[in-house]
Structure 1
Amino acid sequence: MPVDPQPQAVLSPLTESAVFLTLTVAEGAEQAVRDLLPELGGLVRSVGFRLPDEGLTCIVGVGAELWDRTFDGPRPAALHPFREVRGARHHAPSTPGDLFLHLRALRLFPCFELARLVRTRLGDAVEVIDEVHGFRYFDRRDLLGFVDGTENPVGDDAAAAVLVGDEDPDFAGGTYVMTQKYLHDLDGWQATSVEAREHAVGRRMLDDVELDDATKPTDSHVALTTIVEEDGTEREILRDNMPFGSIADGEYGTYFIGYAADPDVPERMLQRMFVGEPEGNTDRLLEFSTAVTGNLFFVPSTAMLDDPPPARTAAVADEPDPAHAHGDLGIGDLRGTG
């Protein structure tokens, strides 16, 4: 199936507000999701046309299990369920999520209205597992007081880091998105010195300048999330992290959202953060930040949204894999043995 490599609005400029919705899809309701995909553009326009200065966009991602339940044919080559990471002291959990919506605009209310329309459109087919309303904080800082997204690639570098290309031609123009919700111990963080905070992050707090190699600890966040190959190539992702919080619930956090052409890149970052590089040398930020969700989704191109892959029929979906019909190794199939 030929695919126009035009991506969804992944490379659009960062905005001031966002809504992040993680949904699960009821068994047997997969067609409702497939039917929604070509309609998303119209829903965005119905809200955004009245608010042309808001820059309203909606990015949709599909999880591995829902993909297999919904579409016939091949799956994106690197799509799989989020792989939890468990170190000696820190844990990045894998949590439920079939469908993901990243809604962005200048202000929150267009995102809210679009989310409401999508939720109404899907009805009982889905359950909202997680809803986060993100906002830009002072000077684009997170709630820990540091500027977030400083090292995002731009222009052609961003496209190269984010978009699937000839390595998986059926899904060119798509991307993968990893999401995690982190809750912060702000009281504990604020009780530490500015120098200790800078060493945990790997940047100066005031001017956002990265610490030099002689000063930057090897267990700082910057050091552990910098992936450099043996040939010197640095692997990048595009982050659109946002602060969020609830005064009533006493929850203050960062919603991590990273787009990449290959999920192996953010997965390696998580391995280094939670297990350590070397093992045991874990991210200092995890002493104050706890991951409570974890998901991975594939974000199709706009052409694939407009013309989704064929629906997976019930007969195909229920047909057992011959290699596993009688056990993982096929043991027990006695036909033709005697």
Structure 2
Amino acid sequence: MSVAPILLIGGAGFVGQQTAKHLQAQNPGIPMIIGGRDLAKAQKVAANFDNTESIKIDIEAADLGLGKREISAVAIFFKDDALAGLRFAQIRGIPHISISSGASEIAPEVAAFMHNPGASAVVLGAEWLVGAVTIPALEMAKKIASINTIKIGALLDEKDSGGPAAEIDMHRLGETLPAALTRKNGAFYWRVGENTKSTFRAIDGTLHEAVALSPYDVMGLATATNAANIAFDLAVGVTSSRRQGKQMSTEIIIEIAGKDKDGTPLQLHQAVFHPDGQMPLTALGVAMTLERLLGLDGKTPTPSGLYFPFQLLGSESYFARLDAIGGRVLTLDPDARRQAENPFA
């Protein structure tokens, strides 16, 4: 399938480079443009990929400095406070994905879509690692007839910086936005102060102190499952793999509790793991979303609409690609795991 170049704004960063790698591994020779504020850096990165160019992005220009150059889709890897990339995508009628906003920052992008809903597909991509929580969690949820509680514990290794853009995002979301969206007894509320503190156990059972966070997973999982209680907590420390003397990794603990079709209480515990940290998973989610938006997966391109990544990505294809890049979904034994502090108490 022939497409115009995909524009990766901030594509010279760690996640942008990984996304370009995933895209061309799955779609050899697909045209791309690495856009950035530092042209020399963008040029250096573009030289590593086939059929790939570079450009200095002008956020203040309506055309982003591209002139009339044809583009098929836009992905942006840093917080675009001016919505320049989204505005450009809507003017051109092409799909757009951003990955850096928290739940309390959702309004500008939603408002832009509402103002012009027929312009293009807009993906609110700031689920944790772009689908690495929601897709496995929703697959787990199929095994439970009535879901009461979903608890997510994301563990980042303290050595896994994720690059400058990711550090800026984490600082902004963790320091300047201290309240965290949570669902308790069927209602949404904001955890603040001491109520943002929690703990969860890593894959190896080690207890980690955590703080509440507001990625889009809480909203997405709530609407998809109607679970009465949903919380997302983040810990930064030593991951299970590094504690065993191996390299740092990233891990996500997903716990779902409810009842089976006979009314019997049921608990499921799984972990999503990648041995190289957070970036490969984030980049995989962005790449697969772009492929789905453009129909590079052999299906019809995604029509105009407002989407979360999990609404676009099929679990079977996601798990196959996750396995191909070294990621794993591990089943944990709930009977062997001691209870951590309850964020709903």
Superposed pair shares fold, TM > 0.5: no
Structure with the largest fraction of strand = 2
Q: TM-score, normalised by structure 2?
A: 0.22
Q: TM-score, normalised by structure 1?
A: 0.22
Q: Which has the higher contact order (CA 8 A, sep 6+)?
A: 1
